[in-house]
Structure 1
Amino acid sequence: MQRNRNKLLNTVKREVLQLRSQSLHNAVIINLVRQQPPQQLKRSWDLEVKVGKRPIFQIPPKVNIMQVFDRMKGKLLLLGNPGGGKTTTLLELARRLVIRTEKDTNTPIPVLLDLSKWKNHNQEISDWLVEQLKFKYNIPKKVTREWLENQQLLPLIDGLDRVSPELSEHYLESINKFSIDFQPKHLVVCSSFTTYKNCHNKLRVNAAVLLQPLTNSQIKDYLFVARSRELWNYIEEEPELLNLAKTPLMLSMMTLAYEEILIAAWRRITSKEGREKYLLNAYIRYQLGGETNYKWYSRNQEPLPEQTRRWLAWLAKQMAAENIQEFRIEKLQSSWLDANGEVQTYQLIINLISVLFWGFTFGFIFTLVWKLKAGLISGAIGGLIGGRFGLPGVKNLVLRIVLFSNGHIPWNYRRFLNYASSRLLLQRIGDRYQFIHHLLYKHFTEM
């Protein structure tokens, strides 16, 4: 049992470190403020806490999320706007919890869970959690069930705002039932303000932590520390741009992509959605044009920016169609093929290879054992069998050949996905990939 505990804790630790190192806030720090490690920086946004029917009170800047967690006995709801720092705050809490758990073997193990990955809605949340620990961390299901029953897991749940309103209600009800049935010592759930406010069901937790939009002075301080005084001078008198900068995600993108932004053109955009889209495009241009410490391609062999955009847009659309947030190369689906010819080409190649392989194999064996005539007959029979049952292991290869030949993916797909991760367009967690933020994921689906 201790071996599995250490295995899970080490894997969660790596996951948290990977996600934090691939965040936009961390990119700002590395690129612009190299002398100050990111973990020593204070959070940019204010935290407010709501406990029951008592008045909301603000948390002083020196108080971190771990202290709030302890004060509220480890049962929290994190609420904020999209791009408002919820996941960043959750990862900071996870980092501190991992450190504590390494020192105290009696402390529940924190595990990161995403509700948008819960596909079987008739399933109990405890069963889904068991499956997730098997899938993500390769922990035996029996072990996870024992941990649940003994209150040795600390679920950190994100993704409530990435499911439909009907499912949000169902998931909140399921989490409450889980709390009653298993009585976990600690539980943290993340959601957007709007999603949670519109739900009839409410979580049974000790407090809600509200992540507030950045104030003008916080924006100014952030940009000055990040050596972006000129950007502040441009936006301080522009209410619409300043309002956009109140979202931490957008502020980080502004700071990174400033060289790609034409302020005069940006000012003329009248809608909030248009300004966000302009900024996201500027961020993509910046990330594809700058230097990177990771050399996944030889000099002058990197994909062209247009190719990268096209390949990522295709991936985002397929993921959206399948309603998935993470992607693994091994999980490429034939359903991702275009019905206009690609499916037929794929099936034809599969059948041809199978017929040739099984026909040759049967024919060769029977020719050696009996005679040529028997071999030819057996070869024909083998070909028919191959056409009917196919050839194990060849389908994924053929699928990738068809997708490559139609321009949907590059030949070395894993290298490209790692390259896109180094460009902070994707995040890589082990052998899984996801877009660095849901807003960027949605933007690519609309390209």
Structure 2
Amino acid sequence: MPYQKRYQLLQQVKNEVKQSRLQSPHRAVLTQLAQETPPLRMRRIWDIEAKVGNRPSFRLSSNCGIIPVFDRIGGKLLILGGTGAGKTTTLMGLAKVLVKRAIKDNGEPVPILLNLATWTDSEQSIENWIIDQLKIKYNIPAEIGKDWLENLQILPLLDSLDEVGNNQHNQCILKLNEFLSSDVCPLHLVVCSSVEVYHHCEAVLQLNGAILLRPLTKKQIRDYLMNARSRELWNNIAEDESLLKLAKKPLLLSMMTLAYEEILISSWKRLETFKEQRQYLFNAYIRSQIAPHREQSTSRKNWEERNLETVRQGLEWLAKRLEEENKSEFSIQEISPSWLQDFEQEKKYKIGVKFISGLIWWGIVAFIAIGVIVRSIWVVLGGMILGIIWAAIYKRFAINDWIKQFVLRSFLSLKGYLPWQTNQFLDTATKRLLLQKVGRRYRFIHRLLQHHFSQL
């Protein structure tokens, strides 16, 4: 693996891990509510049960990461847990250690973080899918990605098996097992899945061991809220079994803590089902995060305060499009005409692209025509030279792609789907812990929140 390419990839993964950990509700609890600089190490608050081969399972203490288990079983590990139980957080913690190892030792494979939800072709091999994702996510050319895989220089960390679309979870497991038995099987491989989805699959991943993230205990919930200075919240949920059930999920517990001022406890307790109570929590969390922030600079604060409702509407539209395509990550460049909602909108978009593209060419033709009319060879030559220069620029700098993006963003803005200031909109949503940003890509802080926005 060329040193420069290896270094660049390691830095990308390192940054992704850092951003994911910084842009989490748990981190926000530490900084906003505890009102102190968060510790350098974000300790997990849930218990982990590990199972290696046929040996009895054992518990890992909260002070112990999963790296000892990873090493003990030869680096082929399955991470299981309920939705919102901390699987991705656990995976990021593992990735952080593996990146450090790869930086110190060039002989160590480079960890890459991929989302299995992007595996959409049930006939595609995992090898080819990884090569494609290296190109899409990390901008690694296919031939280089293939070479790295064949030389066992990549360590895939695969998240969200449970988010594979069209109920293809079992097929995905079969493809993963084919990959594990192939000549290009990496030295190490980690897969994350919800325990519910995995147990409903007939196939079993041929890995060396697994860990199960346990729901939080009542004592762990209490300790967390006391440390976050949320005694009042604890007093209100301590004897309510349905709300404690929500709080057993670390993601939802962090959201409760951040959104408490927006929660009317009496109304929340009257809701009958787990789903209704979770929806109420998500709505409260969204309100709390979209509320004005006093500490912002004047220019940004003014834009945000003027567009808070626009931000919410934009996230709703974005979530709907992502759910339709079964995606959890996107970049601005991936916002395509396919996201338009009907044929009539697509037709207007195409007309707009043709109009702007043709306008420039017709302008050049008109310039030449004027030269002919006034019988000026210099004007005609100038128009022809201008046309040649424009043709070269048009091809060299992919002007047509720029025109398409311009027309699309203009159309989406006029329709009220996305603000024209798309970057500012996405960065605002990221700052307010509704989205996460990694490099040039964005995702909702959790697939549950994305799904909730899509239903609004």
Compute the TM-score of the two structures, normalised by the length of structure 2: 0.90
Q: Hey, what does 2:29 align to over in structure 1?
A: 28
CA deviation profile, 1:228-278 (whole Å, cap 9, x unmatched): 111111100111111110011100001111111111110100011100000
Distance 1:24 1:424 in 2: 7
CA distance in 2, matches of 1:284, 1:139: 36
- Out of 421-430 and 325-334, give the one that drifted further: 325-334
The aligned runs of 1:73-84 (5 Å cut-off) are 73-84=74-85
Pair 1:406 & 2:408 matched = no
Instruction: Decide whether aligned partners of structure 1 residues 327 and 239 sit closer, same or farther in structure 2, where only a CA change above 3 A counts.
Output: same
> d(CA) in 2 for partners of 1:3 and 1:349?
43
CA–CA distance in structure 1, aligned partners of residues 310 and 362 of structure 2: 40
Counterparts in 2 of 1:9-88, with a 5 A limit?
9-35=10-36, 37-88=38-89
Query: Which letter does structure 1 place at the counterpart of 2:193?
Result: S
Other-structure match for 2:301: 299
Q: Which residue of 1 aligns with 2:362?
A: 359
**Does the CA-based 8 Å contact 1:294-1:422 persist in structure 2?**
no
Residue matched to 2:392: none
Q: CA deviation at 1:297?
A: 4.7
- The residue type equivalent to 1:260 in the other structure is E
2:204 maps to which residue? 202
Answer yes or no: is 1:335 the counterpart of 2:352: no
- CA RMSD in angstroms comes to 2.6
Alignment check: 8 A CA contact 2:268 2:277 kept: yes
Structure 1 residues 298 and 290: alpha-carbon distance in aligned structure 2, compared to 1, 3 A threshold: closer
State the distance in 1 between where 2:37 and 2:408 align: 46
Task: For 1:395-434, list aligned pairs within 5 A.
Answer: 395-434=404-443
SS at match of 2:362: helix
Q: Percent identity?
A: 46
Deviates more, 1:47-56 or 1:151-160: 47-56
Correspondence 1:272-283 to 2 at 5 A: 272-283=274-285
Moved more, 188-197 or 306-315: 306-315
Moved more, 435-444 or 66-75: 66-75
Q: Residue 46 of structure 2: SS of its match in structure 1? A: coil
Q: Which amino acid is 1:401 matched to?
A: S
Cα gap change, 1:243/1:187 in structure 2, threshold over 3 Å: closer, same or farther? same
Aligned to 1:386: none
Name structure 2 gaps, 5 residues minimum: 388-398
Comparing 248-257 with 306-315, greater Cα deviation is found at 306-315
Distance 1:64 1:394, change over 3 A: same
Cα distance in 2 for residues equivalent to 1:87 and 1:105: 26
Matching of residue 256 in structure 1 with residue 261 in structure 2: no
Structure-2 separation of matches of 1:114 and 1:295: 36
Residues 302-358 of structure 1: per-residue CA shift (max 9 Å, x gap): 144332221110111112222222222122222222337533432333333344332
Residues in 1 aligned to 2:58 and 2:422: alpha-carbon distance in whole angstroms = 49
C-alpha deviation, 1:292, in angstroms: 7.3
Alpha-carbon shift at residue 25 of structure 1 (Å): 1.0
Which of 237, 240, 243 is the equivalent residue of 1:241?
A: 243
Q: Which runs of 5+ in 1 are unaligned?
A: 383-390
Question: Aligned residue for 2:169?
Answer: 168
Q: Does structure 2 retain, via aligned residues, the 8 Å contact 1:26–1:38?
A: no
Give the secondary structure class of the aligned counterpart of 1:133. helix
Counterpart residue type for residue 329 of structure 2? E
For residues 355-410 of structure 1, the C-alpha deviation after alignment (integer angstroms, 9 at most, x for no partner) is 433222223235436877xx99x99xx9xxxxxxxx82322211111111111111
For 1:210 and 1:170, locate their aligned partners in 2 and report how far apart those are by CA, in whole Å.
22
2: distance between equivalents of 1:144 and 1:348?
39
Residues 290 and 358 of structure 1: CA distance in aligned 2, closer, same or farther (over 3 Å): closer
Q: 204-213 vs 37-46, which deviates more? A: 37-46
- State the alpha-carbon separation in 2 of the partners of residues 36 and 18 from structure 1: 17
Q: Which residue of 1 aligns with 2:391?
A: none
Deviations 1:265-296 (A, max 9, x none): 10100011100000001101111115376659
- Which stretch of the first structure deviates more once superposed, 350-359 or 427-436? 350-359
Shift of 1:16: 0.8
The amino acid across from 1:188 in the alignment is V
2-structure distance, mates of 1:354, 1:74: 54
The verdict on how the C-alpha distance between 1:252 and 1:354 changes in structure 2, with shifts beyond 3 A counting, is same
Q: Is the 8 A contact 2:12 2:138 kept in 1?
A: yes
Distance 2:316 2:36 in 1: 36
CA contact (8 A) 1:165 1:195 kept: no
- Distance in 2 separating the partners of 1:445 and 1:24: 20
Contact 1:79/1:208, CA 8 A, preserved across alignment: yes
The corresponding residue for 1:289 is 291
Q: Name the SS of the counterpart of 2:300 in structure 1.
A: coil
Q: For the structure 1 residues 99 and 34, does the alpha-carbon distance in structure 2 shift closer, same or farther, using more than 3 Å as the test?
A: farther
- Residues of 2 paired with 1:351 and 1:145: CA distance? 39
